[in-house]
Structure 1
Amino acid sequence: MKVSGAVAVVTGAGGGIGAALGRRLVENGARVVVADLHADKVESTAHELCDLVPGSAVGLAVDVSETDGIRALVDLAERRFGPVDVYAANAGIGGGIGLETDDDSWQRIIDVNVLAHVRAARLLVPTWLERGRGQFVTTASAAGLLTQIGSPSYSVTKHAAVAFAEWLAITYGDQGILVSCLCPMGVNTDMLTGGADLDDPVARRAVQAVTDAGGVLEPLEVADAVMAAIESETFLVLPHPEVLTFWRRKSADYDRWLSSMRRYQASLS
């Protein structure tokens, strides 16, 4: 898909990957609605984008785990810029550590990391089918292809996000709907350490597992990888190329991979 002239929605754009992706989109000629749960953060992002390219962006504070919030974003995009061409389901939250995570916390992360994608697709896909084009960009994680030491809810929901992206690509890929699925490892954002209790040894090991597995990238580096995938119509976006090597080892011998993961977990301080 050509980005120049496209209308995009980017969720979770109050900072990190979402804000960086918004920047790259407007720099390449797109007009963007940026969304976040926090009004001050998303307004700051929108102002920064408009400073780069006047009139290129508008921000809205909504909860994108709810259908009404997603509908408000789509309606705003249509009023200000036109029909949505690209929807980047980037909003995500971390999960609790271990089996102690309660049901309410499980439900919240499922709503944000998985069902927000489903609800967005329900709203957008029928219109995209009529128009014959549209692109859905899923921010998952390397945890969706491998796993996340420490957090079962993060691992499960990121696996589900990858699976839903695969399903969209299979079901609608021959009808003009493109899907890209982003699966990075460590990225220098608040999510990496901001929500972790580093005095908790389990939480500390979970963060260490990410930072030790590969280089920690800057959000703009990740956004560049996403932009390349949008332009080339590539499904799997791997800013950390070593993830593909890890995934191949996993799929080649599952039991050996599980054993190696247990040894790796035991080695973490």
Structure 2
Amino acid sequence: MTHINVLDPGASPLDYYGFELRRHREAAELTQKQLGDIVNYTGSLVGQIETARKLPTQKFSERVDAALGTGGLLSRLVALVMRSQLPAWFQQVAELEARATVIHIFQPQLVHGLLQTEMYAQAVLSAVNDNDLDSRTAARMARQHILEKEKPPALWAVLTEAVLYQKIGGEEVMREQLLKLLSYERHPRVSVQILPYDTGVHAGLMGSFDIFHFAGDPTIVYSEDYDTGHPTANPDAAESRSLRYDHLQAAALSVKDSAALIRRVVEERYGKQLTSNRRPVA
């Protein structure tokens, strides 16, 4: 008889996901291969996810939910699975992102994780440690699903002009990343503003920070160093950081002018830097 790995559904969100996937598959009297054929994945992948050896994706979860009639169970669980793959100190921040109604972010060096492309995120995450890079990148990208919710948060991002020139991952990666920022130019819930070089001294010189606003709960401000994050609901800190953000938004270019600057940088710096076997992205 083939040995079947028995998962403890209480061990982790990934184990719980695998347990539920197997339970519903067996209730439908399908083998792993049969389910894989239905959802256009291999039976081997189904087995790896069932035994918590492989991370599920949102697309996989949605297809299996439809095939097994689970009422969206796995699609809901995958968010918890991905959040559990983030560094322990950052999991609370991902939860704040998921609950917030309005998010204000300021980044002086990098595109914020909620706005990164997959290749840009992978390049950032590999800077010091490339272990388990695919899973770590997938976990970061999964955070962006909050922008696809039925009622997503309003996201305001102020990035310094330096972010457009800091070459992360090479010209092609930067081109695709800046084109993604441009895609938000007319987005009803996401606004990107660039703080230009000639601003000089500004209210964000102390570093990056996020501000999370909630319906009925206190505002939380967040900053981080190399190894950990620092969320606080201290009212004085929230008021001080909100004032700084107001000054940053006032000093930054408008959304329209920011898009024009990003477009110019794409054309002048990254427009022709493509691999020979690929067509231009835009």
* TM superposition score normalised by structure 2: 0.30
